[in-house]
A and B are shown apart, each in its own frame.
Chain A
Amino acid sequence: MCLLALCAAGLSLLISCQHARGGAVRFRKVIVLGVDGLDPDLLTNFMAEGRMPNFARLAAQGSFRRLTTSIPPQSPVAWSNLITGMNSGGHGIFDFIHRDPKNFQLYFSTSRVEGPKHNFHLGSWVIPLGSGSAEQLRHGKAFWEILDEHSVPNYVYRIPANFPPITAKGKTLSGMGTPDLRGTYGTFTFYTDDPTASLGEVEGGETVLVEVKNNRVVTNLIGPDNTFRKNSPPSAEPFTVDVDPLEPVARIAVQEQQFVLKEGEWSGWVSVEFQLMPLIGSVKGICRFYLKQTHPRFQLYVSPINIDPRNPALPISTPSNYSSDLAKQIGEFYTQGIAEDTKALTAGVLDDKEYLEQTHSVLAEHRRAFDVEFPKFHDGVFFFYFSSLDLNAHMLWRLTDPQSPAYDAALAARYRSSLEEFYEQIDQVLGEVMPKIDDNTTLLVLSDHGFAPYRRSFNLNTWLLNNGYIAVKEGAGGDASEPFANLDWSRTRAYGLGLNGLYLNMRGREHEGIVEPGPQADALLREIREKLLEVRDPKDGSRVITRIDLASEVYQGPYARTGPDALVGYNRGYRAGWKTILGAFPAEVLEDNTNPWSGDHCIDFTKVPGVLLSNRRIEAQAPALTDIAPTILSEFGIAKTKDMMGQSVFQSR
Chain B
Amino acid sequence: MAVARHGAASAAFKLFLLTSPLAIVVVLSLGVGSLMVVLFGYTSDQKAIAITKDQVKAHLLAVRLYRDQIPVVMGSYGKVLRGTGRYLKLTFKPLLYVIILITLLMVQVDRYLGAAPLLPNLPFLLTVHLPGQTSDALNEVTLVLPPEIAMTAPPVHILAENAIVWRLVGSKEGSYEVKIAAAGQSAAKAVRVGNDLTRISTVRLRGPFWERMFSSAEPALPENFPVESVSINYPNRDIEIAGHGMNWIWPFFILSMVAGFIFMKISGIRI
Q: Taking beta carbons and an 8 Å cutoff, which residues of A are in contact with B? A: 214-216, 242-251, 258-262, 265, 321, 324
A370 to B244, CA, bound (A): 25
- Can you sample 25 A-B contacts with CB below 8 Å? A214-B159, A215-B160, A216-B160, A242-B158, A242-B160, A242-B165, A244-B155, A244-B157, A245-B157, A246-B157, A247-B155, A247-B156, A251-B125, A251-B158, A258-B165, A259-B167, A260-B125, A260-B153, A260-B156, A260-B165, A260-B167, A262-B153, A265-B153, A321-B243, A324-B243
- Asked if B154 CB lies within 8 Å of chain A CBs, one says yes
Task: Please report the C-alpha to C-alpha distance between residue A249 and residue B125 in the assembled complex, in whole angstroms.
Answer: 13
Contact pick for B154, options A215, A242, A247, A259, CB 8 Å: A247
Interface size on B, residues (CB 8 A): 16
* Partner of A249 from B153, B160, B233, B243 at Cβ < 8 Å: B153
* Chain A, interface SS category: strand
Contacts of B233 in A (CB 8 A): 258
B125, B153, B156, B158: residue with the most chain A Cβ atoms closer than 10 Å: B156
Instruction: Give the complex CA separation of A574 and B45 in angstroms.
Output: 92
* Bitwise interface map of B from 124 to 166 toward A, beta carbon under 8 Å scored 1, else 0: 0100000000000000000000000000011111111100011
**CB proximity of A556 to chain B, nearest CB, Å:** 46
B161-183 interface bits toward A, Cβ cutoff 8 Å, 1 = contact, 0 = none: 10001110000000000000000
Nearest CB on A from B111, distance (A): 20
Q: Distance in Å from the Cβ of B190 to the closest Cβ of chain A? A: 20
Give the complex CA separation of A248 and B157 in angstroms. 11
List the 3 closest pairs (A to B, CB-CB), nearest first: A260-B167, A247-B154, A242-B158
Given contacts A258-B165, A260-B125, 13 further A-B contacts (CB under 8 A): A214-B159, A214-B160, A242-B158, A242-B160, A242-B161, A244-B155, A249-B153, A251-B156, A259-B125, A259-B167, A260-B123, A262-B154, A321-B243
Contacts of A251 in B (CB 8 A): 125, 156, 158, 165
| Contact partners of A246 in chain B: CB under 8 A | 157
- Complex alpha-carbon distance, A238 and B21, angstroms: 34
B159 adjacent to A250 (CB under 8 Å): no
Number of A-B contacts defined by CB within 8 Å: 52
Nearest CB of chain B from residue A502's CB, rounded to whole Å: 51
**Known contacts A258-B233, A259-B125, A260-B167; A249/B154 CB under 8 A:** yes
Q: In the complex, which residues of chain A have a beta carbon less than 8 angstroms from the beta carbon of B158?
A: 215-216, 242, 251
**Bound complex: CA A251 to CA B160 (Å):** 12
Closest to B233 in A: A258
- The interface residues of chain A lying within 8 Å CB-to-CB of B155 are 244, 247, 249
> Which residues on B sit within 8 Å (CB–CB) of A244?
154-157
Smallest CB separation, B248 vs chain A (Å): 17
**Chain B contacts for A214, CB-based, 8 A:** 159-160
The answer on a CB contact under 8 Å between A258 and B125 is yes
**In the complex, what residues of A have CB within 8 A of residue B243's CB?**
321, 324
Assess A250 versus B125: contact at CB under 8 Å? Given A260-B165, A260-B167, A321-B243.
no
Question: In this complex, what residue of A is CB-closest to B167?
Answer: A260
What chain A residues lie within 8 Å of B125 (beta carbons)? 251, 258-260
What CA separation (Å) do A259 and B125 show in the bound complex? Answer: 7
Chain B residues whose CB sits within 8 angstroms of the CB of A324 once the complex forms: 243
Query: Which residues of chain B from 36 to 51 have a CB within 8 Å of any chain A CB?
Result: none
Using CB atoms, name the residue of chain B closest to A294: B156
Q: How far is the CA of A244 from the CA of B160 in the complex (A)?
A: 11
- Chain A min CB distance to B267 (Å): 39
Q: A53 CA to B36 CA in the complex, in Å?
A: 70
Q: Which residues on the A side are within 8 Å of B157 (C-beta)?
A: 244-246
Shortest CB distance B149–A (Å)? 15
Q: Which residues of A are found within 8 Å of B159, using beta-carbon distances?
A: 214-215, 245
B194 to chain A, nearest CB (A): 20
In the complex, how many angstroms separate the beta carbon of A273 from the nearest chain B beta carbon?
15
B160 to chain A, nearest CB (A): 5
Q: How far is the CA of A246 from the CA of B138 in the complex (A)?
A: 13
- B236 CB, min distance to chain A CBs, angstroms: 9
Interface centre among A248, A251, A261, A265 (most CB of B within 10 A): A251
Contacts of A245 in B (CB 8 A): 157, 159
CA distance A321 to B243 in the complex (A): 10
What's the Cα separation between A242 and B158 when bound, in Å? Answer: 6
Cα distance, A486 to B160, chains bound together (Å): 53
